[in-house]
Structure 1
Amino acid sequence: MAQIFLCAGVILLASLMTCHAAISVTLDLEPADHGQLFNLENEDGSVILSGHIGRNLETPDNLKATQNGSCINFSSIGTELNEVLEDCIDFGDAHWYGGPEQSRQYWPLDNVTFSEYSYVTKSQDNQGIAERYWLSSAGVYIYVEPDVPLFIDLNNHVNKSICFIAKSSAPYLSTEVPQLKYKVCASENAKEAHKNAVLDVLGKPEGYPDERMITHPIWSTWARYKRDINDSVIVNFANEILSNGFNNSQLEIDDQWEICYGAMTFNKNKFPDPKNLTDTLKSMGFRVTLWVHPFINILCDPWLTEATDNAYLVYNNTGNTTLTTWWNGIGSAIDFTNPEAAEWHVTRLKNLQEEAGIDSFKFDAGEMSWLPQPPRLDSSSYPYPDVYTHSYVNAMSSFGSMIEVRVAERSQNLPIFVRMLDKDSNWDWNNGLKTLVTTLLQMNMVGYPFVLPDMIGGNGYEGAPSKELFIRWLQANVFMPSLQYSYVPWDYDDETVQICKVYTDLHAQYADVIINLAAKAVQDGSPINPPIWWIDPSDETAQTISSEYLLGENILVAPILDEGAESRDIYLPQGQWHDELRNEQISGPTWLRNYSVSLSELAYFTRVTTVNVK
């Protein structure tokens, strides 16, 4: 047996030195079934993570130590195109977090399963974020390098395990020999591991989004009107918002304002004078934003012809077509890995801004699955398709801190809102209200603190939300970074209007707290809305809570997420807590069983004393 230990980031020979660090890494190089085994162990010898390398390593030369925690890097390159590389890691008794955004967003990942699942941004399962990062309650993180043609098995062969599979198969190009590169890093606890990951692999934002978008609601035409919009509809919408006493950050004109998709030209039958419309809205106190996308549909000329003639579009791998089907028809996608194409698209948007008086944009799409498959991109330095998402978001970020995008890939540095993918107007785990909190946690814990929750009440694809769902959705949203309305309180009754005013105002009252936390995220990469175990990473009960979240480290929110419920169990971790609903002090850790919460109430708690937990 050969062994390697990591002590404070220094490789030591086991036969010569004794390791006194809290974490040691042991690699067993004796052959096992189809490869080798390795363990991460505490100094007392207890195993916190085990792995199986799916091929034989004769030497440990590919292992390295890094300064941020105790890490071991694995790197393998295939010898032929059709080779499949696979390593598996056993999660043991630990709980795991992170991974992709999903429509069924469970937290933690203990009961989630994937089978050879392509790890790219895609419309399937609402996977708008696919960061290759997983975090363990035992203080371990795993990061897979971006140039790996990655598929994953999760809890598929053995419960609580993940397998990383590298193979040159669709949606990846089949012209590259596969390689599998990842690192496993151990720290004192999950919080310290994540802080190290921010420094080492995730990065932190360079600034934060527009403060007015944080403070006051965004009002969108989408869910309430869908595509049935015109000049008078939007002015009437603005008048309703003001007459009911609500503030705003901006009013967003959503789908079907163009003469054809990709024209970036207003339909004059619906919007005879766009500049007059935006001037009217601005005189009413609104900023105006516009829904846009990266597609040009067939027959949308002369713009499609211009893009085709200049090779601005994404082709499939054979170079035979640029056509792809997206939710609004058949068209082509701009290739943002081509700098000239990106600049052409940005210039057209800027011209539209100036001509129509548009303040900013809601950027839709960006998943690689909307491209012709498998996509052939202009990028020569990075052959894998998620570079499209990365390039698209980077190009659109040039429009400043007032934008929103719905996809992200290695984009943690950008000072912009990343929106949750469209939520459905239901209560359950099928992309409904229960996933609002878990998606918030997932996004924060893969490095995106500037979360724009989807519209209050969901998108209503199968009917508008009930009054109860609408109110509970707003309450769950209050301590998240921004509010976004489309369905409106006055479509229900006066009681709904009054309740929504209370919680919309409550969000504005805490806007300074959110802004300060956004500034802290810029400083050190801290999540704005972490899971409640962030206060005490050793708290095994807190590690499994999926229906509560924090604002910073001193506000805990426990919304009602079940239809018809007027009570719930609430868990408070360590510390002295002030119950803002009952106006009383509570010592944690403790459960509050059958805590009563009427339809007009939201349970939240402020921490009045802290605990000495890193």
Structure 2
Amino acid sequence: MTNTQLFIRRIIIFQITIVMVSCTGTGQSGKNALETHPMAIQVAANEKWWAGITADGHLMPLNARYSHDFIGDDKGNQIQPLLLSSKGNVIWSEQPFSFKFTKDTILIDTAIGKIVNKNVGQTLKAAYQYSSKTFFPPSGTMPDQMLFTAPQYNTWIELVYNQNQKDILKYAHGIINNGFPPGVLMIDDTWQEDYGKWNWHPGRFPHPKEMMDELHQLGFKVMLWMCPFVSPDSDVYRDLASKGAFLVTDNDQNSQSDVPQKDSRGSLKPEMVTWWNGVSAVLDLSNPVAVDWFKSQLEGLSKNYGVDGFKFDAGDTQFYRKGSSFGNVSSNEQSLLYGKIGLDYPFNEYRAMWKMGGQPLGERLRDKSHSWEDLRKLVPQMILEGLMGYYFSCPDMIGGGEFTSFLEGAELDQELIVRSAQCHALMPMMQFSVAPWRILDEDHLKAVKEAVELRSKYKEVILGLAKEAARTGEPILRSMEYEYPDQGYETVNDQFMMGDKLLIAPVLVKGQLQKEISIPSGVWKSLQGDLVEGPKKIKVEVGLNDLPIYAKQE
């Protein structure tokens, strides 16, 4: 294709109709007026696209009839206002937009800011490298090394809404006594007295400082679950409401006024937000009062109890769709502001995020169910996280983080736990929650422990890739298409690369005894020492304890 032909093909056919829509509050765009930009971008017949919606990574490259609206919808996971193609094309905006994808067109029908559409090369890698350098450059720093070098353990599945000192210590000792190495221990929701009352629950944690000291002595670093919500029936709520620290209601049911409403005390009336644990007020992070108060809670826990870091849950753009903010910022911007708080803590984890690629933040996939279907989503969603600059990433919890899958009477699949652990083993991070020694028989527990030992063997490689990502912005975990373009790997989602020299092909199908693996060009060496010269497809035997790994030879 000549340059002239390429230019003609990439012509953006559009008819700009600017419709200024009055935006009250933060539900759509804060200070930015909403604009309608019907813009049709041509898609070549052999061109594949990836869009920055992590929760839909398993649907990519995009198929016909896909659509998404970035405005106030993160689908419970990280999003980035970015589309990348296998032919080096980039679509980006500093502000959220909505788009529809068909087999030959990307239609951008609503946008708040300027849309950048540019061809920067001929490959997915070129498109990513340009985007990383231009839109979300690496910060040069990374989360704490322990998040990469050792397994993480989360107390959620074992204790759910009954986090307590006795059982947390039991869980921690169980890790050590069953031959697992210490790592980061995350104490989940309900350690606190109430949402917004960030002190240890006095009934469930009679001696929290002693507990923290014991956990540290065992070799753990400890993170606490946090959220930006405050329960309305509390003294903390009343104090913060009087200071205007919450997102506030625009109007009541009987009024069409855009003027923020006031409560019976004359304070601005907080917007009540429904989330998975009830109805709460939500901190307005565009208000310095709210930010200073929230940071003071974090600092108090760190100083008084030795807490090492925090799991920052919620922060979803959806929770800020209604109401007005102090800074008149968008719902997406509130999510970004929540992400910035974690920059002060090398031990951090986020599930929802907007436009914070390249930053030293640990990003986790949203909760997965205990199913083979969800296990198969891990590789493509982790690939997408890397392509969007969220490369310090964790593939949820081993066996699934959706707690109802583990309630009494639920049917557990021991093989699924093993294959999940193996899939995690050579990803950037590895996180347990359900206790393997409690639910597995001897053979399956042995296989899980071997996966942990395998990670230990490669921990310096993983850490090296994390350091490289912090410096260069290159993803830690990469797709086959990223490293080997135009060789038919665009839709390969059951194997992945760690850096450019390690190929990992986890078993993702129940009862699978033989796996077909795509070996790219070059000479590759298996764990067992066998040499394979690519490109070719091979079939290998995969017993319960097997994780196929191939290292590229110089």
- TM-score normalised over the length of structure 1: 0.80
Which ranges of structure 1 fall in alignment gaps of 5 or more residues?
1-21, 27-38, 56-75, 168-177, 610-614
Matches within 5 A, 1:344-355: 344-355=293-304
Q: For 2:367 and 2:165, how far apart are their aligned partners in 1?
A: 25
Distance in 2, matches of 1:396 and 1:376, equals 24
Partner of 1:406: 351
Cα offset for 1:334?
0.8
Is 1:131 the counterpart of 2:80 in the alignment? yes
Per-residue deviation, 1:425? 1.1
Q: Which amino acid aligns with 2:390?
A: Y
TM-superposed CA distance for 1:404, in Å, is 1.1
Between the aligned partners of 1:121 and 1:514, the Cα distance in structure 2 is 34
Q: Residue 84 of structure 1: SS of its match in structure 2?
A: coil
User: Quick one: which of 128, 136, 145 aligns to 1:202?
Assistant: 136
Quote the Cα distance in structure 1 between the aligned partners of 2:551 and 2:205.
48
Structure with higher helix content: 2
Q: How many residues align?
A: 520
Q: 1-side partners of 2:281 and 2:416: how far apart? A: 38
Instruction: Show CA shifts across 1:161-204 (max 9, x none).
Output: 3221226xxxxxxxxxx555332233132222221121112322
- 1:223 equivalenced with 2:157 (yes/no): yes
Aligned 8 A contact 2:120 2:130 in 1: no
Taking the TM superposition and a 5 Å limit, the aligned residue runs for 1:425-436 are 425-428=370-373, 432-436=374-378
For residue 50 of structure 2, give the secondary structure of its aligned residue in structure 1: strand
CA-to-aligned-CA distance 1:502-537 (integer Å, 9 cap, x gap): 111211221111121122112221111110122221
Q: Which residue of 2 aligns with 1:108?
A: 61
CA distance in structure 1 between the partners assigned to 2:57 and 2:125 by the alignment: 25
Aligned positions of 1:10-159 closer than 5 A: 24=3, 40-41=6-7, 47=9, 49=10, 51-55=12-16, 77-78=18-19, 84-92=36-44, 93-102=46-55, 105-111=58-64, 113-114=66-67, 117-120=68-71, 122=73, 125-126=75-76, 128-146=77-95, 148=96, 150-155=97-102, 159=103
In the other structure, the counterpart of 1:324 is 273
Pick the aligned partner of 1:309 from 232, 242, 248.
242
Alignment of 1:289 onto 2:223:
yes
After superposition, the C-alpha distances for 1:551-600 in whole angstroms (9 at most, x for unaligned) are 0000011111112212222111111111224x21111111114x321111
Shift of 1:145: 2.8
Q: Which residue of 2 is the match for residue 3 of structure 1? A: none
User: 1:437: which partner in 2?
Assistant: 379
Residues 508/308 of structure 1: CA separation in 2 closer, same or farther (3 Å cut): same
Q: 1:462 to 1:259 in 2, by over 3 A?
A: closer
Q: Distance in 1 between matches of 2:452 and 2:416?
A: 16
Alpha-carbon contact 2:55-2:365 (below 8 Å) kept = no
Deviations 1:334-389 (A, max 9, x none): 11122231111101111122223322111101112123x32422224xx4321101
Kindly tell me: are residues 135 and 23 of structure 1, through their superposed partners in 2, closer, same or farther at Cα, counting changes over 3 Å?
Answer: farther
Cα pair distance change 1:23/1:398, threshold 3 Å: farther
Secondary structure in 2 matching 1:440:
helix
Aligned residue for 1:187, secondary structure, equals: coil
Identity across the alignment (%)? 25
Matched, 1:334 2:283: yes
CA contact 1:425–1:462 (8 Å) conserved in 2 = no
Find out whether 1:452 has 2:394 as its counterpart. Answer: yes
Whichever residue aligns with residue 332 of structure 1, its letter is A
Find the counterpart in structure 1 of residue 198 from structure 2.
Answer: 264
How far, CA to CA, are the matches of 1:557 and 1:450 in structure 2?
A: 18
Is the partner of 1:132 in helix, strand or coil? strand
Alignment of 1:363-512 (within 5 A): 363-371=312-320, 373-380=321-328, 383-399=329-345, 401-428=346-373, 432-464=374-406, 465-491=412-438, 492-512=440-460
What is the SS of the residue equivalent to 2:359?
Answer: coil
Question: Aligned partners of 2:553 and 2:291: how far apart in 1?
Answer: 50
Read off the aligned partner of 2:362 and give its amino acid letter.
Answer: F
Match of 1:6 in 2: none
Question: Is this contact kept in 2: 1:78–1:179, CA < 8 A?
Answer: no
Q: Distance in 1 between matches of 2:339 and 2:85?
A: 29
Change over 3 Å in CA distance of 1:499–1:302 after alignment to 2: same
1:98 deviates by 3.2
Provide the secondary structure at the position in 1 that maps to 2:166: helix
Contact 1:53 1:87 survives alignment (8 Å): yes
Structure 1, residues 457-499: CA drift from partner, whole Å, max 9, x if none? Answer: 0024342341111000111111111111111221211222221
TM-score norm. by structure 2 comes to 0.89
The offset of 1:453, in angstroms, is 1.8
Distance 2:313 2:531 in 1: 45
1:270–1:107 CA distance, 2 compared to 1 (3 A): same
Deviation at 1:104, TM superposition (A): 6.6
Q: Provide the residue aligned with 1:275 in structure 2.
A: 209
Contact 2:79 2:355 in 1 (8 A): no
Query: Which deviates the most, 281-290 or 417-426?
Result: 281-290
Q: Where does residue 596 of structure 1 map in the other structure?
A: 541
Q: CA RMSD in A?
A: 2.2
Change (3 A) 1:444 1:494: same
Contact 1:106–1:112 (8 Å) recurs in 2: no
Counterparts of 1:199 and 1:250, CA distance in 2 = 31
Q: Does structure 1 conserve the Cα–Cα contact (< 8 Å) formed by 2:91 and 2:115?
A: no
Residue equivalent to 1:70: none
Residues in 2 aligned to 1:558 and 1:258: alpha-carbon distance in whole angstroms: 41
Distance 1:50 1:468, change over 3 A: farther
Aligned CA distance change for structure 1 residues 436 and 23 (closer, same or farther; 3 Å): farther
Give the Å deviation of 1:23. 7.6
CA contact (8 A) 2:57 2:384 kept: no
Higher gyration radius (CA)? 1
Q: Counterparts of 1:224 and 1:79 in 2: how far apart (Å)?
A: 51
Q: How many angstroms apart in 2 are the aligned matches of 1:244 and 1:79?
A: 62
* Counterpart AA for 1:391: L
Please give the alpha-carbon distance, in whole angstroms, between the structure 1 residues aligned to 2:21 and 2:453. Answer: 61
Aligned partner of residue 475 in structure 1, secondary structure? helix
Q: How far apart are the structure 1 equivalents of 2:203 and 2:20? A: 60
Matched, 1:563 2:489: no
Amino acid across the alignment from 1:94: E
| Amino acid corresponding to residue 293 of structure 2 in structure 1 | W
SS at 2:98 equivalent: strand
